[in-house]
A = this chain, B = another copy of it.
Amino acid sequence: MSEVRRVGWIGTGIMGVPMARHVLEAGYRLTVHSRTRGKAKPLVERGAAWADTPEALAADADAVISMVTDSPDVEAVYLGSAGLVRSIRRGALAIDMSTVAPATARRVAAALAERGADFLDAPVSGGSWGAEQATLSIMVGGEPDVLERSRPILELFGKSITHCGPVGAGQATKLCNQILCAGHLVAACEALVFARKNGLDPRTMLEAVAGGAAGSWVVSNLAPRMIARDFAPGFMIDLQQKDLRLVLETARETLACLPATALANQLLTAAQAAGHGKLGTQALIETAESLNTLIHEG
């Protein structure tokens, strides 16, 4: 329960690097580990130490933060043969900011509890830009007192920090977020297809509807990129699909019937089949248009 000074960081992808940099810049002593050592270079160059394994990294850390891709990655980092649970100190904080299954969060928390370490699931939304600017929204599952101890670190990444419930509730909330994003994405595609089929100027259509009951972040931010054919990834289709897989797996386990989310998942699968997995989710418009043989008209 002592003050956090030494932080271990695992995961140096598009989100992990800028987030870890905020930790360094706030004056914490940072040790970093990632699957690909080269990707930790920008952090090591700024003074972070390197650890060869999660186990080595956790041995003298007051807090450990993970930001990796998927449930199996989190399980490996925490529970694997050189995982964090082997060495984590009593009273240390472990915060997983990846987006994974709520069940994974609960499994990891239980294993850490046996070692006397505390866990939060704290997935984020806001993308790489939010990570750079420290404007992420953070959805936290875990004990309130663990959140309070973690707050000074979490505030390095964003000011919108919501306590969603016990361990797993942060992940479940993030999955609700993805259900909404996916539904809004498909709706925007269908509105734009209908607009083109009916001879409307799509920009004028958006202008007319975006301010009212049809408005959404997706309509305001992604639909204009769909029209402009700007498919640079704010959030990649492959990652949206990973998150929808988590949604639908969790929905199956909890017997939640989500037909529109399942449809969005299928349409995004068509986008992946067309080779668009590394593009931003707004590239789904290409699939929607190809269903309407509009693809070569634009």
Contacts and interface: CB of A to CB of B under 8 A. Distances in A.
Interface stretch (A10-18, A43-51, A205-213): A205-213
A173 interface: yes
Contact of A137 (B173, B211, B221): B211
A177 B292 contact: no
A261 to B, nearest CB: 5
A186 B183 contact: yes
A203 to B, nearest CB: 11
A226 B133 CA distance: 34
B187 A172 contact: no
B258 A193 contact: yes
A247 B205 CA distance: 15
Contacts of A232: none
B184 A137 contact: no
Interface string A257-272: 1111101100100000
A69 interface: no
B198 A250 contact: yes
A295 interface: no
- Identify whether the interface residues of A are mostly helix, strand, loop, or mixed: helix
A209 to B, nearest CB: 4
Interface in A67-102: 102
Interface residues of A, number: 72
A201 B126 CA distance: 22
Given A176-B209, A205-B176, A197 B251 contact: yes
Contact of A200 (B176, B194, B235): B176
Max chain B C-beta neighbours (<10 A), residue from A184, A194, A250: A194
A264 B260 contact: yes
Interface of A: 102, 125-127, 137, 139, 160, 162-165, 168-169, 172-173, 175-184, 186-188, 190-195, 197-201, 204-205, 207-209, 211-219, 221, 235, 247, 250-251, 254-261, 263-264, 267, 288, 291-292
